[in-house]
Amino acid sequence: MLHQIVEIVRPIFVSLQPRSMISRRLVRIKALQALYSYQQGGNTDNVSLQNLTPTQQEHYQNTLANLNDSINQSYDFFLFLLDLPFQLSTYLLEKQAIEKSKFYPDQQKIRDLSILDRMPLVKYIHREVEDNKSKHFSFDWSELVGQFDQYYEWMQTWEFVRDINIFDAPSFQQQQAFLEEFYANLFETKESFFDNLNDYYSGWSDDELYTTREIEKTIQGAKENGVVPIPEKPTQSSEEIEMAQHLFTTTCKNSKVYESQVAEISDNWDPSRIAIMDLLIIKLTLTEFLHCPTIPVKVTINEYLEITKNYSTPNSSRFVNGVLDKLRIVMESQGLIQKSGRGLRDK
């Protein structure tokens, strides 16, 4: 079968339900990190927001801006990784051109190097990535191109690559299965790939679970007519940005009030003896208890306990769970926790 050049035709009428790739847990993690940065860098422990000096106010505003940037970077890095097959394909085609120019070109090598170019889905995804990039997109595969030979060597050892290489024009379903396997093998079996990403983007270890999940959803949701369901870009009015800002600003504003509330249910309360991350997690939980009426109390507690396991000390989860449970009981008995919406109040 002759190699077919597939023209990418942009669908005209498309109706897709938009989704966000930034989960609420990732938003909570970003808010926690912003609070930690704010507390560590501004000498603001005993100062209310209303009494900040100009220097402290600048630090506060910079931290809030960095919080927004971190969410946008998570989205941009998702696009960056989603475009890897196309960028690798471009690199391999350059190697193919060199091979073709030889006096005695290796025809099998020429064919092998075209493996990604024979998949229209790779081009469909690239088109959507380009359409969704921001003007300030900060990631560039040219900075990691030195790793591409290694990636290709890995591909040549994978059985599913050899299986699909026999097809001149793989079916759309074969292309989807191939890309899912491609990413699964990179993420799950190649520690050096993870390390490369971690060195390149400091937020990768936080984003990994959510980014890999969204890549899988995007591939699975792609259509043969070229439609690729890329999640919506975060904006100032999007839920993830608004939630992150709300968690950060409300927790900063009520920080001392929260410490007083914790002191009321704790024996020998001394904030200086509590791990910084534990205290910040407790404060964020109180923000959701008291100032996020649509989020169920149990969801809030479970989310922050999971975050505690990954971002604080080994013994923190039990301590934080005990404090949060006492706070929940006392605050519900006092009528301080007001949740709206069906099923959001625990009876």
DSSP secondary structure, 283-319, as one string: HHHHHHHHH-TTS-HHHHHHHHHHHHHHHS-TTHHHH
The angle, 0 to 180 degrees and rounded to 10, between the axes of the packed helices 54-82 and 84-100 is 50
Please report the pLDDT score of residue 315 as a whole number: 87
Please report the pLDDT score of residue 195 as a whole number: 94
Please report the pLDDT score of residue 44 as a whole number: 58
Residues 6+ apart with CB under 8 A from 319: 278
Helix (H) / strand (E) element for 326: namely helix 316-333
Please report the pLDDT score of residue 176 as a whole number: 97
Please report the pLDDT score of residue 275 as a whole number: 87
Please report the pLDDT score of residue 5 as a whole number: 32
The angle, 0 to 180 degrees and rounded to 10, between the axes of the packed helices 148-157 and 172-189 is 110
What is the per-residue pLDDT across 99-121, written as a single tens digit (0 to 9) for each?
A: 999 999 999 999 999 999 999 99
Residue 296 identity (one-letter amino acid): P
User: Which tokens go with 81?
Assistant: 């990784």
CA separation for the pair 170, 151 (Å, rounded) = 21
CATH number of 254-333: 1.10.940.10
Contact assessment for residue 219 and residue 172, using Cβ atoms and an 8 Å cutoff: no
Please report the pLDDT score of residue 264 as a whole number: 86
User: Quick check: helix, strand or coil at residue 229?
Assistant: coil
Positions in the chain whose pLDDT score sits under 50: 1-17, 342-347
Place of tokens 């699909």: 164
What is the per-residue pLDDT across 8-67, written as a single tens digit (0 to 9) for each?
A: 333 333 333 456 788 999 999 999 999 999 988 766 555 567 777 888 888 899 999 999
Contact assessment for residue 229 and residue 19, using Cβ atoms and an 8 Å cutoff: yes
Burial class of residue 319 (count of CB atoms within 10 Å of its CB; 0-12, 13-18, 19+): middle
Question: Which segments of the chain belong to CATH 1.10.940.10?
Answer: 254-333
Please report the pLDDT score of residue 18 as a whole number: 57
Q: Name the E strands within 173-240.
A: none
Q: How many beta carbons lie within 10 A of that of residue 33, not counting itself?
A: 20
CA separation for the pair 322, 343 (Å, rounded) = 24
pTM (global) more than 0.95: no
Please report the pLDDT score of residue 136 as a whole number: 87
Contact assessment for residue 175 and residue 121, using Cβ atoms and an 8 Å cutoff: yes
